[in-house]
Structure 1
């Protein structure tokens, strides 16, 4: 946890459920069929008896037995490789439960719906809503090696990041045509919440990409921050070229805001319930190249 996190109240929160049983059922079916289950088997034996979280995932992202079977046929290695990620899920559940318990203590207004880790059709990595919880695609997150080479750490910190999105004010998180600044602050708030609760940000690859280039990158960001074309800063990562530097700049703005605040608990609330991104930026004291080293470093 960050060194200057607010003190948590004893017994102030419970941990949300972290459901991993859908993954176990999928791979029983997968193994019994020698890696080639039929669409009917996947629908009848995996999806239909699944958890409520899996049902929500399937409903919102059109995951069917036929669509999983189609992806299995086209990308068999995706599902074979994901078995190594399945093996760390008990440890992920334990660490994640503690991180989300911490979130509930530091932010008592938090919604704490369940987290469901399941197997999907190759994408997306995850979706989340306050009423139905967070759903993570095991095979999709397992494939994103560049985020963090340590599988257990990747799952813990990425899920902590995605869970923070469930807490964000809908009017901020669901803007129809957000600016670079607005989208970056949404992602930066989630990155900061992940660090505060799980110990590290989700997008750990930024350290190597940005070291010594802070002023250069953030000067370019400042010039672009009012644009509604976000493609240079967000949603532009690939295996060949990790990107999404808007996440990193947004995180640094949020961290600057938190560091300036005398009331850390209230600052976290203001971060997660952000109403006016431009005012938030002004109050953060952020400027291109700002130094934000941890205390004692």
Structure 2
């Protein structure tokens, strides 16, 4: 069984917390978009360990030389991702080429993405001048996450982005996308009581708003192939989403647990990168949330206020209603 609040929290990669708890104050200094830089020190420590052990680090070595003093980036990336030294050591042993590629091919490219970071941050500062920009860390994870965020910091899993980027140009583009998307997650509060009433919709807004703002500040729709596929089937996608949202809602117990049927319905839209439902693109819930966000801003009298409302997403049902999204689709 899975806690419903944890399903939502996993979308923003935050550890579960009481849903009414406000986010803690940032623990890092404000970042200047003109001088922002990617901190790759943790990834460099892993790379040195990789070289010293001929690509075969033990769990004890990973704990001593990487996890123990890996900094806040590794700390944030450990729950749900790295998990522990034993898990990371086993993953490295099973996928040596993945880590060799990250260390030898992509890590040397990271420093050159500072320009991408600054461009993204200048755009975000212009769009959201009152929101503090987070620190950026690049780490080596367990091959299961490209990035996550916590208050005041976003963390990127280098080995995953490297796997998704066959060329230096594509790597720079992926990094710029993650710089924008994960930054939005650092702005989002913990799930509200209203969000817990419709976990699938709440998760769609958490991820879809981040993708919407990424599109605004980079002029690139995240996952263009998914966008093309879904736009050609938008009415059916929306009907399927509503159907599964009702299943998830019905499967919520009074103790906050989800039934297996609810978990399966949720999993059709999230948490399926690389293994989506047959015939579907991965993580289709991101796209649904992005389309709701686009419609919400288009309907708003003041788009700046609308974007602030979307980031906070205190009442997902009201946002959906005010967006008019889906009202024109044939029934």
Same fold (TM over 0.5): yes
Partner of 1:260: 299
Query: Any gaps of 5 or more consecutive residues in structure 1?
Result: 1-11, 291-297
Q: 1:33 to 1:164 in 2, by over 3 A?
A: same
* SS in structure 2 at match of 1:136: strand
Q: CA offsets per residue over residues 28-86 of structure 1, 9 Å max, x none? A: 33223322234444333333443332244347756554443222212212202223332
Q: Does 2:54 match 1:34? A: yes
Q: 1:232 to 1:120 in 2, by over 3 A?
A: closer
Q: Is the Cα–Cα contact under 8 Å of residues 124 and 180 in structure 2 kept in the other structure?
A: no
* SS in structure 2 at match of 1:82: helix
Partner of 1:287: 326
Q: 1:85 to 1:202 in 2, by over 3 A?
A: farther
Q: Within 5 Å, which residues of 2 pair with 1:50-129?
A: 50-58=70-78, 63-83=83-103, 84-129=105-150
Of residues 264, 273, 292, the one that matches 1:237 is 273
Q: Does 2:42 match 1:22? A: yes
Query: Any gaps of 5 or more consecutive residues in structure 2?
Result: 1-29, 249-261
TM-score (normalised: structure 2): 0.71
* SS in structure 1 at match of 2:154: strand
- Cα distance between partner residues in 1 of 2:205 and 2:193: 9
Q: Is the Cα–Cα contact under 8 Å of residues 158 and 202 in structure 1 kept in the other structure?
A: no
Q: Is the Cα–Cα contact under 8 Å of residues 194 and 202 in structure 1 kept in the other structure?
A: yes
* SS in structure 1 at match of 2:295: helix
Q: Does 2:278 match 1:247? A: no
* SS in structure 2 at match of 1:110: coil
Q: CA offsets per residue over residues 270-289 of structure 1, 9 Å max, x none? A: 11112211211121122267
Deviation at 1:130, TM superposition (A): 1.2
Structure with more helix by fraction: 2
Q: Is the Cα–Cα contact under 8 Å of residues 173 and 186 in structure 1 kept in the other structure?
A: no
- Cα distance between partner residues in 1 of 2:272 and 2:60: 36
- Cα distance between partner residues in 2 of 1:235 and 1:219: 20
- Cα distance between partner residues in 2 of 1:162 and 1:289: 32
* SS in structure 1 at match of 2:269: coil
How many matched pairs? 276
In terms of mean alpha carbon deviation, does 150-159 or 171-180 score higher? 171-180
- Cα distance between partner residues in 2 of 1:276 and 1:214: 24
